[in-house]
């Protein structure tokens, strides 16, 4: 079936209305400029969003954010809300890399102070933080310790000496999702998770030393401890093979349950179960365990990042002022209360490749930022900029409190390998003053900047629509990849 054609209904806003022919229960709203929309029309993004809008219990609207692109069932860069009592929960609507997310460390260093030791810093970080496909962390967990990681998230790592007081407080959900149930995690997922805690992984995951190039919101930047010329460190990774296995396990559970629940799907990749069912409860418990694994994983990487800076620069952690600004989650489903069709409803918000962007005054925003709004991080492609944004009230009206999560791929990894070479990419990055360490040449070529959309345009849509607005622009100095 051809994808429905979106109609322009406002500046950077396109819509597909539900009809008997397209089978949608709610509209699809696409937030993009013409160029970004054109890229979405070049793959299955719009068709997939329309399929999501046909799921039982979907309410309000399905949103495609400006970084949207084709994914597994749900488009990446997609947001959908299901009624918490009558709607579904879908493992594909969360994704394989549960709680793939981004955290930002600030430092007290100026970029020019760090640049003479940049290659040494990147090399030390590369040696200290395991990366690559199947990479193993420096900590081998016992079964009991893994249970504690699943239950406590970032707090487990901090209490174990891998961090400092206050780190978990500035993570989404304080770095620990309630309701985690280790008993709902398969033995196969456990075996994959035991050796991987504290590792970066591969694909689009990275750790990047950056320079603050521009400040657009002085008040918000000051609250976050951000200033122009400062060195920051951005980490992008998730729950590794542990989360991937949890998703795989519960996709099979969902597929087997479709007939029993009488669920008819436009695409079997959207396999789902009623949120209130035994299967839905089991998935939520296992998903929360994977969310907590990811927060603990990023916390341990943060710890080793601080130690690398101390070793190379011969400064103490206190002198370096390496404080965590915030940690945001992508690939997550949470029960939240939102205004839907004029009334407050409890809904399961699926954010797949999307970042929560709550505004000022909401209880879910940490005390440090409650008066200004939640920090949002949108990483660009390797060698381009990343952005700090601030959640705004417009997100609650348009996107169930969400915005984009990155630049969004526009070129497959196989095409990137065909069209670019490692030497070309490294030279282009070197010409920009960016030093890269990667375990494989594919890790460099597949993540070439040309494989991604223009992150400045993605951020511009969010800013201009008032979903999440610009605070600061960060540009890379050094990158480690798997």
pLDDT, residue 132, reads: 58
pLDDT, residue 140, reads: 83
Instruction: Supply the angle between the helices 278-313 and 118-128 in degrees, to the nearest 10.
Output: 140
pLDDT, residue 133, reads: 66
Q: Which residues contact 10 (CB under 8 A, 6 or more apart)?
A: none
DSSP assignment string, 208-241: EEEEEEEES-HHHHHHHT--TTEEEEEEEE--HH
Q: Is 69 a catalytic residue?
A: no
β-sheet bridge partners, residue 438: 481
Tell me which DSSP letter residue 477 carries. E
Length of the chain: 482
Q: Which residues contact 69 (CB under 8 A, 6 or more apart)?
A: 39, 40, 43, 45, 75, 76, 77, 408, 409, 410
Handedness of CA 396, 401, 406, 408 (dihedral sign): negative
pLDDT, residue 1, reads: 64
In 238-283, at which residue ranges do the beta strands (DSSP E only) sit?
Answer: 273-274
Give this prediction's pTM.
Answer: 0.95
CB-CB contact of 399 with 467 (8 Å): yes
Query: Which residue in 236, 405, 420, 463 is the catalytic one?
Result: 405
DSSP assignment string, 279-316: HHHHHHHHHHHHHHHHHHHHHHHHHHHHHHHHHHHT--
**Residue 161, φ and ψ in degrees, nearest 5:** 95, 5
Q: Are strands 468-481 and 435-438 parallel, antiparallel or unpaired?
A: parallel
Q: Which residues contact 157 (CB under 8 A, 6 or more apart)?
A: 149, 163, 296, 299, 300, 303
Going residue by residue through the chain, which has 482 residues, state the pLDDT in tens, using 9 for 90 and above: 678 899 999 999 999 999 999 999 999 999 999 999 999 999 999 999 999 999 999 999 999 999 999 999 999 999 999 999 999 999 999 999 999 999 999 999 999 999 999 999 999 999 999 775 667 777 889 999 999 999 999 999 999 999 999 999 999 999 999 999 999 999 999 999 999 999 998 878 899 999 999 999 999 999 999 999 999 999 999 999 999 999 999 999 999 999 999 999 999 999 999 999 999 999 999 999 999 999 999 999 999 999 999 999 999 989 999 999 999 999 999 999 999 999 999 999 999 999 999 999 999 999 999 999 999 999 987 778 999 999 999 999 999 999 999 987 777 778 888 888 888 888 888 888 889 888 888 878 887 778 777 899 999 999 999 999 999 999 999 999 87
């Amino acid at each position: 079936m051809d994808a429905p054609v979106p109609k322009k209904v406002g500046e950077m806003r396109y819509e597909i209305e539900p009809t008997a022919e397209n089978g949608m229960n709610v509209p699809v709203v696409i937030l993009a400029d013409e160029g970004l929309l054109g890229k979405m029309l070049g793959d299955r993004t719009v068709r997939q969003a329309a399929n999501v809008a046909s799921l039982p219990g979907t309410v309000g609207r399905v949103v495609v954010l400006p970084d949207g692109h084709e994914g597994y069932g749900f488009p990446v860069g997609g947001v959908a809300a299901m009624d918490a009592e009558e709607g579904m929960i879908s493992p594909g609507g969360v994704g394989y890399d549960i709680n793939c997310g981004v955290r930002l460390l600030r430092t007290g260093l100026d970029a020019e102070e760090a640049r003479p030791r940049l290659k040494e810093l990147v090399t030390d970080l590369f040696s200290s933080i395991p990366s690559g496909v199947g990479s193993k962390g420096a900590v081998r967990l016992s079964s009991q310790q893994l249970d504690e990681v699943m239950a406590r998230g970032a707090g487990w790592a901090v209490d174990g000496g891998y961090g400092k007081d206050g780190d978990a407080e500035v993570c989404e959900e304080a770095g620990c999702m309630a309701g985690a149930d280790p008993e709902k995690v398969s033995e196969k997922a456990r075996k994959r998770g035991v050796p991987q805690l504290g590792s970066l992984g591969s694909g689009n995951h990275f750790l990047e030393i950056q320079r603050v190039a521009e400040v657009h919101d002085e008040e918000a930047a000051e609250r976050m401890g951000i200033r122009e010329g400062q060195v920051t460190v951005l980490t992008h990774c998730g729950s590794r093979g542990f989360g991937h296995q949890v998703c795989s396990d519960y996709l099979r559970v969902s597929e087997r349950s479709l007939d029993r629940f009488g669920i008819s799907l436009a695409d079997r990749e959207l396999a789902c179960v009623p949120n209130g069912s035994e299967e839905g409860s089991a998935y939520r418990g296992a998903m929360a365990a994977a969310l907590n694994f990811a927060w603990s994983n990023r916390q341990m990487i943060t710890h080793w990042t601080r130690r690398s800076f101390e070793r190379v620069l011969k400064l103490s952690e206190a002198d370096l002022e390496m404080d965590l600004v915030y940690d945001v989650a992508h690939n997550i489903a949470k029960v939240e209360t939102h205004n839907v069709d004029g009334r407050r409803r409890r809904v399961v918000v699926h954010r797949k490749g999307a970042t929560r962007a709550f505004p000022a005054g909401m209880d879910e925003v940490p005390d440090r930022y409650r008066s200004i709004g939640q920090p949002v991080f949108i990483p660009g492609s390797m060698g381009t900029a990343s952005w700090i944004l601030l959640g705004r009230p417009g997100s609650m009206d348009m996107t169930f409190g969400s915005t984009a999560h990155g630049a969004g791929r526009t070129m497959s990894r196989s095409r990137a390998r065909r069209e670019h070479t490692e030497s070309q990419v490294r030279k282009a990055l070197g010409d920009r003053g960016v030093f890269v360490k990667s375990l494989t040449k594919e890790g460099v070529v597949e993540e070439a900047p040309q494989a991604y959309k223009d992150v400045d345009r993605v951020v511009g849509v969010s800013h201009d629509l008032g979903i999440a607005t610009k605070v600061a622009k960060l540009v890379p100095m050094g990158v480690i990849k798997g």
